[in-house]
Amino acid sequence: MSGIDTFAIVGGDKRQVAMAESILSDGYNVCAVGFENAGLKSGITTASLKDAVKMSDYIILPVPATTSDGYLNAPHSRTQIAVDDEFAKTMFDKKIFCARAEDLIAASPIFSNMQLYDYSKREEFAVNNAIPTAEGAIQIAMQEYSGTINGSRCLVTGFGRIGKVLSKMLKGIGAKVTASARKPKDIAWINLLGYSAVLTASLASASAGSVDFDIIFNTIPSLIFDADVLARLPKNAVIIDLASLPGGVDFDAARKLKIKAIQALALPGKVAPRAAGEIIKNTIYNMIEEGQL
């Protein structure tokens, strides 16, 4: 990527730390903002936001960019940095790589007139993040389920990216995998790939019988596992909800029924920060190389 000299990495967690090191080792300068407590590797410059922006060709914001109370998502920062009009203005004429651009625009309308390049909307970002998400889900299952994954009866609801990768890995460990989907086409694929198939709708409606699964991985963001369905699960069952908020599980009902239900969000950054950092970096590199900026 010729003509590029410096990336500013503004905020983020272990993923951004890993990404900073990785970009540095690719031969670029890296200027980091908001990592005072991260113990950054030597070679990575730190600077004020203003200076960092000035000396950089591109700015990279984290995923998510903002906390729920309006600050920059920067857990390793010594101080809190507000994401507001002033923040936006500081980097007004710069090219900015971000995730969930709509959040930034909600935080400051100025962003709507700026050069935002949303890496989180890229297909390869989503596909590649399915791997650490699936591994994180399996890790949680291993921690929480008192039997072995091998030989257990697993249900994966939804056969999108995460459903596909997760089903494959679970089968690779020796689980008995059932996957659910809505469309006949997906049901055909599920069967063809060697899993048992079930229509998602039938999970709720099977009012009579039990739902015989030891471990359930939900990827569908709508309430499937309500009190009725939960009551039909076996006693040692574990549910891991991977769907974005509000998720697909009635956690209160689960608590009452003493069924282990875990909400597992943002797994890539938690379980495989280095891999997750590489995925962000590679997506950004692809965007630069495709010349869409």
Binding site for its own copies (CB under 8 A): 14, 18, 123-124, 127-128, 130-132, 135-136, 138-139, 142-143, 145-151, 165, 168-169, 171-174, 184-185, 188-189, 191-194, 236, 271-275, 278, 286
The residue among 109 and 184 lying less far from its own copies, judged by its C-beta, is: 184
Strand 45-46: give its sheet, edge to edge: 45-46, 29-33, 6-10, 58-60, 95-98, 115-118
Residue 281 CB, shortest distance to its own copies, in Å, is 13
Residue 214 CB, shortest distance to its own copies, in Å, is 10
d(CA 33, CA 15): 14
How many degrees, rounded to 5, is the angle at CA 103 between CA 107 and CA 249?
130
Q: Which residue has the tokens 């010349």?
A: 291
**Distances 33 to 12, 45, 48, 172, 229 between C-alpha atoms, Å:** 9, 9, 6, 41, 47
Q: Of the candidates 3, 7, 2, which has an alpha carbon nearest to the alpha carbon of residue 281?
A: 7
Residue 69 CB, shortest distance to its own copies, in Å, is 29
Q: Is 152 exposed, middle or buried (0-12, 13-18, 19+ CB in 10 A)?
A: buried
The residue among 38 and 91 lying less far from its own copies, judged by its C-beta, is: 38
The residue among 118 and 135 lying less far from its own copies, judged by its C-beta, is: 135
The residue among 193 and 257 lying less far from its own copies, judged by its C-beta, is: 193
The residue among 91 and 238 lying less far from its own copies, judged by its C-beta, is: 238
Contact at 8 Å (CB) between 237 and 259?
Answer: yes
Residue 100 CB, shortest distance to its own copies, in Å, is 20
Q: Of the candidates 184, 187, 183, 182, which has an alpha carbon nearest to the alpha carbon of residue 204?
A: 182
Residue 158 CB, shortest distance to its own copies, in Å, is 17
**Distances 23 to 80, 240, 289 between C-alpha atoms, Å:** 25, 34, 15
The residue among 23 and 107 lying less far from its own copies, judged by its C-beta, is: 23
Residue 184 CB, shortest distance to its own copies, in Å, is 6
The residue among 79 and 291 lying less far from its own copies, judged by its C-beta, is: 291
H or E element at residue 9: strand 6-10
Residue 267 CB, shortest distance to its own copies, in Å, is 11
